[in-house]
Amino acid sequence: MFTGIIAAKGKIERIQPQGGDLRLNIDTQKLDLTDVKLGDSVAVNGVCLTVVEMRDNKLGFDVSRESLDRTSLGSVQTGSEVNLEKALAVGDRLGGHFVSGHVDGLGTVVSRQESARSVQFRFEVPSGLERYIAEKGSVCIDGVSLTVNNVADNWFEVNIIPHTMQETIISNYRVATKVNLEVDLIARYLERLLPQQNTGITHETLLQHGFLK
């Protein structure tokens, strides 16, 4: 489990094909590894991966064919920057929202524009995920916990403050960039619990049950 608060940006140092999948070796740069050991979970661009190799400030992860096909990790290259977050420990502050590290789908940047000191991004959403995204609700983009500012049938918008632009790979986003999306866990559970059939979660439903103000 993660929080969506990025601890550091890393860089892909080496990509090793292995029997149809890959091993990624990542230079973790300023990520604190003093409490990291083999077998631990680390979110890489929002994808929960297991540490299988450690050397100095470098970590190695095996990435399955499933993850390569369903996430943006299938298109990373040597030198690509990635968002890194260690797994949530009991007693840690929950600064973002609960993030599982299981990507629901790939979104696409469709616009980027300046908004005062922030940058506003619009993302196209894969069909079927839009019902889990609500205005002022949470969404995870490449491992970053963000608040949805505007939403429509097949897109949503977020505003990125200067600190987040500096500390994450969002500064590299351009139109057509593919990003990993994980919807709010609460929205998924609400869909199962609330008496709705084939309608999913709506903004009005969340307001009615006190999850939005």
Domain boundaries, the chain: 8-86, 105-208
Tokens of 62: 């095996």
Higher-scoring residue by pLDDT: 184, 156 = 156
The CATH code that applies to domain 105-208 is 2.40.30.20
The length of the chain, given as a count of residues: 213
Instruction: Enter the pTM of the model.
Output: 0.88
pLDDT tens digits, 114-130? 999 999 999 999 998 99
Nearest Cα to Cα of residue 180 among 114, 107, 85: 107
pLDDT reading at 208 higher than 80: no
How high does pLDDT run on average in the chain?
Answer: 91
Looking at residue 213, its pLDDT comes to 59
Looking at residue 199, its pLDDT comes to 54
Q: Do domains 8-86 and 105-208 have the same CATH topology?
A: yes
* CATH fit for domain 8-86, picks 1.10.1060.10, 2.40.30.20, 3.30.750.24, 3.40.50.300: 2.40.30.20
User: Dihedral of CA 68/12/33/30: which sign?
Assistant: negative
Across the range 2-8, mean pLDDT stands at 95
Across the range 17-36, mean pLDDT stands at 95
pLDDT reading at 147 higher than 90: yes
